[in-house]
Amino acid sequence: MTPDGSGDERRVVDSLLERLDTYGLGRRQFVKLLAGAGVAVTAGGTLAAVGRRDVNKTGAVAYTDGQFALLNWSSTGDYQVQWAKAYQEAATQLGYKSVVLDGKSDAAVQSNQFNQLLTQKTTAIFVGLNDPGALPTLAHDSNDNGVLFQAAWNSPAWYTPWHSDVDGDKYNTFLMPDEYAAVGKAVDVLAKQIGEEGTVVRVGGYYPSIDGCEVQRRLAVHHTLKKYPKITFAGELHAKYDADLSQRAASSLLARYPDTVGIVAVNDDAATGVVAGIEAAGKVPGKDVFVVGANGSTAGIERVLAGRQLVTTGNVPAYPSFVTLAQFHDRLRGWKPEPAERFYGWHAEIITRDNVEVFKKRYVDGPIGQSFDVKLLSRTEHPDDFDLQFDGYPVEDLDLIWPDVPKPKGFQYPEAYLKAQRNGDFERIRALYKDHYRTPVLGPSPVGRV
């Protein structure tokens, strides 16, 4: 490689980006990932030492008694802490050894961690990626190594689990709740609170971004506010889902737009910083400025109860971990998701002062291991009476996942996805899930009832 990233290196990297399913991964991101993984790029444009490329020809899981790993974005956010605790609790309840790795909000760190897991006795990996552009490569290497794989929230635009099938069947399911619809409903709550007039700003995540989460949440705000002609959307700053950066962003927005009456935060961790920024500006959150969050994380729920945050979207941080462990467990017992089940969504509850106490009793005050019943989620433990414990649905309309995001050059819908549409499988699975939503999200936990 040349030291300045020009000449031969540029041609080599561009060649690799064309040959790999990078789906939007930029040159700088890609080189950073290579450096973090200790990878060499040869003059011939080939990769050296990216994972273990010995293809798992048997189609079997390499280790049925190995560790169940969670690659977390980081260990600092409220959401990430709850996500990780739930993963460990669900694994313990099913009798599996789990390990949670701190990605430190760094794509190169996660790449190293993933490759290390492939050299160990690992049965399954669940990821929340700092760089969603790495997802196709991780799915490919999981298939190569016979490691069960699942991902949530962050995915490069227009990349789905069906796209990984050419490499094997280890990428189970991608999980994402109805971000666009839920955030839109939360913004409606804000609009009503401020009398449908005034100045509103936003503190976002990563932008420009190729992951569906930021895209959906951002556009939900923009599109929803168009319904309210007397509300002025003055601007937004992006703070990487980080509380400290979000505080600075909120302070800057309030200094620039002092008449702001509403701030939409990308999630409850960002809302933590937004509330601090409002207070630093000498204003009162919940009185002078109303705050919208997302995820139903502990801190957000506490603020809604105290009146310092107006609303959050209660998709429950523990839920994707419980779903994932149940699916990994079922895979080891012979079950596989149907093609129409490979992209899983669930409808978040909109949490306000009216219903926050019920939500808090189950998901904040109660033990996180009793938020859901992992065995009731299992299709092999309860084949006839499994309970999704959330209003789940199979994601069919991919335009709602990446609204207004153009498809990559040469994009094709996967045949498995198209076949499921032709056969009416999505409609059938929707009906199945509706029938098996048996424990209301805002009702008592099902743990102990069976």
Please choose, from the candidates 47, 48, 100, 110, the residue with its C-alpha nearest in 3D space to the C-alpha of residue 75: 100
Residue 277 to residues 208, 245, 259, 295, Cα–Cα distance (Å): 23, 10, 15, 20
pTM of the model: 0.86
- Give per-residue burial for 251-282: e unless 16+ CB within 10 Å, then b: bbbbeebeebbbbbbbbbbbbbbbbbbbbebe
Q: What is the pLDDT of residue 208?
A: 78
The one-letter code for the residue type at 110 is Q
Q: What is the pLDDT along the chain (450 residues), one digit of tens a residue?
A: 444 445 555 555 554 444 444 433 444 445 555 554 444 443 333 343 333 334 455 579 999 999 999 999 999 888 999 999 999 999 999 999 999 999 998 999 999 999 999 999 999 999 999 999 999 999 999 999 999 999 999 899 999 999 999 999 999 999 999 999 999 999 999 999 999 999 999 999 988 776 778 999 999 999 999 999 999 999 999 998 899 999 999 999 999 999 999 999 999 999 999 999 999 999 999 999 999 999 999 999 999 999 999 999 999 999 999 999 999 999 999 999 999 999 999 999 999 999 999 999 999 999 999 999 999 999 999 999 999 999 999 999 999 899 888 999 999 999 999 999 999 999 999 999 999 999 999 999 999 875
The one-letter code for the residue type at 450 is V
HSE at residue 104, side-chain half, CA atoms within 13 A, is: 8
- Domains belonging to the chain, first-starting first, are 8-48 (no CATH), 67-176+317-340+372-435 (3.40.50.2300), 179-314 (3.40.50.2300)
> Which tokens go with 398?
């991919």
Beta-sheet pairing, 171-175 with 67-72: unpaired
Please choose, from the candidates 67, 89, 107, the residue with its C-alpha nearest in 3D space to the C-alpha of residue 368: 89
Question: Which positions ≥6 away from 79 have C-beta within 8 Å?
Answer: 267, 268, 269, 295, 297, 317
> Which tokens go with 224?
């929803």
Yes or no: say if 167 and 201 are a contact pair by the CB < 8 Å rule: no
> Which tokens go with 405?
């995001």
Q: What is the pLDDT of residue 119?
A: 97
Q: What is the pLDDT of residue 34?
A: 53
Q: What is the pLDDT of residue 9?
A: 53
Q: What is the pLDDT of residue 123?
A: 98
